[in-house]
Amino acid sequence: MNLKSIFHGFNLRGNKIINAIFNTPTVDGHAANKKYVDDSLILDTATALELKNSTTFPWVTAVDNNSIKPLLDKLLFAVVNPIYVNPKFQDIKIIILSEFLSKGDKYLLFQDVPKTFRVEYNIIASDRLSNVVAKVVVTKNDNSTQIFNSLTTSDVSGTVVFSFDFSNIKSIKLTKQFNPVTVIKNDSSGNPMITPEFEQNYLLEYDLLADLTKQNIIVPPMLLKNINEETEYLTDLVANANVMTLPLYQRGRSFIINGSDNLSVLLIPKIIFDPSKIIIHINGIATVIDKNLLNPGVTKEIILMHQGISVTYSIATLDFGSYSSPTNIDFQFEIIN
């Protein structure tokens, strides 16, 4: 019998092999046993066993020791939820009214003196509606508030004019209240779906105080008093913490002068006195002041308490002249150092 011819002529078409046992294949062409095939379809890599959930697709979870086919179903045919968008302020612009520029595009803003601002804003369109005015909420350290309303209820843009002084300020926020979403979107399966977050009201906020303090120069108030009323100046200005609250002092950078006796004592924060060119504006006329003429006495500086902080003031005197009616004197400090 020719065994070689029988082996090469063996034909299994139309038949099947049962109860055959195969070793684990090692090269191409080897038959594979069931366990080898099953193990090849299980996701049991070190990463899958460690992390267990997908880091890319959050709805694909418990991947460790799972079969590839159901994982592909989760990946390829997942139910995708609709995306809802909250409103967002953009293009915030704060305009400071009736103040002088001090350095570049920065304004010098004195504390304790009311100032007027206008904030202009746009809002990125969202899935929410508001239909109410925006507000600027000024909160003091004692939690008392001032509220200023926008000029429109528009959900895309607006303007708010507001006034305050920088003493004991806790926060200044631009806010606008938005309603829950009313138009419900469908998920990828065609079913309505909304997350609880968008079923609630939403308060849109923007920190105006951060912008104001970053974009401008905030300093303690400048003080002015008629020299005849300033007994402390005549006694070398002995430091007195209460001097800041004496009613005869005017404070800020704008003062009212009247009559013929206008020789005045000026207390100017040293942090702006030293590096600045000082300009006064009277009846539309600007005059640069020679700082060398402002300190006639031996005492040049005084330290006073302001809002719990020690402030060094440069002491000066200046005669504003005679006026037949109350006249506004505006000081401008151009920081050049």
pLDDT in tens, 264-273: 888 899 999 9
Task: Classify residue 301: in a domain, yes or no.
Answer: yes
Q: Are residues 173 and 233 in the same domain?
A: no
Structure token pair of residue 222: 């400048």
Candidate ranges 201-205, 255-259, 320-324; pick with highest mean pLDDT? 201-205
| Mean pLDDT across the chain | 84
Looking at the structure, do residues 116 and 92 belong to the same domain, yes or no?
A: yes
pLDDT, position 142:
93
Are 293 and 177 members of one domain?
no
CA distances from 242 to 187, 201, 230 (A): 67, 48, 13
| 115/178 same-domain check | yes
**Inter-residue contact 133 to 152 (CB < 8 Å):** yes
Residue 68 lies in domain = 14-76
Burial of 280-315, coded b for 16+ CB within 10 Å and e otherwise, reads: beeeeeeeeeeeeebeeeeeeebebebeeeebebbb
Q: Are residues 126 and 152 in the same domain?
A: yes
- In this prediction, residue 241 carries a pLDDT of 42
Q: How many domains does the chain have?
A: 3
Last residue of a domain, one of 31, 46, 76: 76
pLDDT tens readout for residues 47-100: 878 888 877 777 778 778 878 778 777 777 778 889 999 999 999 999 999 899
pLDDT at 299: 57
If asked whether residues 156 and 100 sit together in one domain, one would say yes
Task: Please classify residue 3 by burial: count the beta carbons closer than 10 Å to its beta carbon, then call 0-12 exposed, 13-18 middle and 19+ buried.
Answer: exposed
Q: Is residue 2 included in any domain, yes or no?
A: no
Question: Do residues 119 and 201 both lie within one domain?
Answer: yes
What pLDDT, on the 0 to 100 scale, is given for residue 48? 77
Indicate whether 276 pLDDT > 90: yes
Residue 105 lies in a domain: yes
Residues 49 and 118 in one domain: no
* pLDDT band, residue 189 (cuts 50/70/90): confident
The answer as to whether 329 is a domain residue is yes
Claim to verify: residue 70 and residue 110 sit in the same structural domain: no
pLDDT in tens, 118-158: 999 999 989 999 999 999 999 999 999 999 999 999 999 99
Residue 130 and residue 184 in one domain: yes
Whether 50 is covered by a domain: the verdict is yes
**54 and 117 co-located in one domain:** no
Does residue 225 sit in the same domain as residue 328? yes
From the list 139, 131, 156, 136, the residue with the least C-alpha distance to 147 is: 136
49-53, 207-211, 278-282, 322-326: lowest mean pLDDT where?
49-53
Domain boundary among 217, 242, 269: 217
Domain ends where: 217, 244, 272? 217
Q: With respect to residue 235, please indicate whether it lies within any of the assigned structural domains.
A: yes
Is the pLDDT at 214 greater than 80? The verdict is yes
